[in-house]
Amino acid sequence: MDNLLAVRIQNKVDSFSKGQKRIAAYIEEHYDKVAFMTASKLGATVGVSESTVVRFATQIGYAGYPQLQQAIQEMIRNKLTSFQRMEVTSERIGNSDVLDFVFNQDIDVIRRTMEETNHDSFYKAVDSIVASRKIYILAARSALALGTFLSYYLNLLFENVLLVQATSEGEIFEQMIRVDQSDTVIGISFPRYSRKIAKAMNFAHDRGAKVIGITDSSLSPVAQASGCVLLARSEIASIVDSLCAPLSLINALIVATSLKKSEESKKIFQNLEDIWDAYGVYEKVDDSSN
């Protein structure tokens, strides 16, 4: 269990009631399950009332049970194995419809990301991208899909965009050998965080580049190396990382960037439309009624 939470509990253990001691013991042994339990379910599991659980949370220094639960969720996000993720998801879904559960979870994480996004950081990132000589995009594992999506659209808008192929640390540094203060490096990483991406972002930071981190927490290794951090919530859904909120954030980043250089973007896309039409890139669909 996280040292900070363990210390909070240890500092107050002498003042706990018998019920609160049972709560503390259960959290220490099953924190991966508690992270997604309601206060009433935790109380029922250990044999105490919901109000006892709430008092326990405030007694160890949290504003309430939701804040304690969020602290545990942040703590375990990068520690759960794939097997533990499947167990946790199975318990959370229970007898619910899987499709509805996942849709509702994604709706919730997008809403919370929208509420928590720092607008100043977002527009600072847009300005950095537009002003760059070269744009490097770093992403690996499941986040590679996000990096590929971002790279596709930025390559339409800018001449010098590189999606760094993160096959090995040596090759990453070779591809970034010329990075300097004229460039922007965008690193995308969500739990479990990629060590290679974090090291590459530290390298870019040391070379003076403008570093943008797209991640889920200001405590993530990607955020530590970033001059500008864009936070988007990701949720655990079995072995899958739910990346709908990061994708929405990246959509907004692409739209804001294209609008920032509006006239140039219009010319680029008009030219592209002419090329696509001339060379039959897209299938024409006749939508006329018979």
Q: What is the pLDDT of residues 187-201, one digit of tens each?
A: 999 887 888 999 999
Q: How many CB atoms lie within 10 A of CB 236?
A: 22
Q: How far is Cα 275 from Cα 118, in angstroms, rounded to an integer?
A: 38
Burial class (CB in 10 A: 0-12, 13-18, 19+), 133: middle
Low-confidence winner among 133-147, 201-215, 267-281 (lowest mean pLDDT): 267-281
- Token pair of 274, please? 């002419």
The CATH-assigned architecture of domain 109-264 is 3-Layer(aba) Sandwich (3.40)
pTM of the model: 0.74
The most confident of the ranges 64-68, 141-145, 245-249 is 245-249
pLDDT > 80? residue 235: no
Structural domain boundaries in the chain: 1-76, 109-264
Angle at 246 between CA 180 and CA 151, to 5 degrees: 45
How is residue 117 annotated by DSSP? -
Provide the residue type at 216 as one letter.
Answer: D
Bridge partners (DSSP) listed for residue 212? 186, 228
Of 12, 9, 49, whose CA–CA distance to 27 is shortest?
A: 9
Question: Could you tell me which CATH number the domain at 1-76 has?
Answer: 1.10.10.10
- Token pair of 112, please? 């919370």
Q: Give the residue with greater pLDDT, 84 vs 142.
A: 142
pLDDT > 60? residue 2: no
What's the mean pLDDT when you consider all of the chain?
A: 87
Q: What is the pLDDT of residues 85-139, one digit of tens each?
A: 677 677 777 777 888 988 888 898 899 899 888 999 999 999 999 999 999 999 9
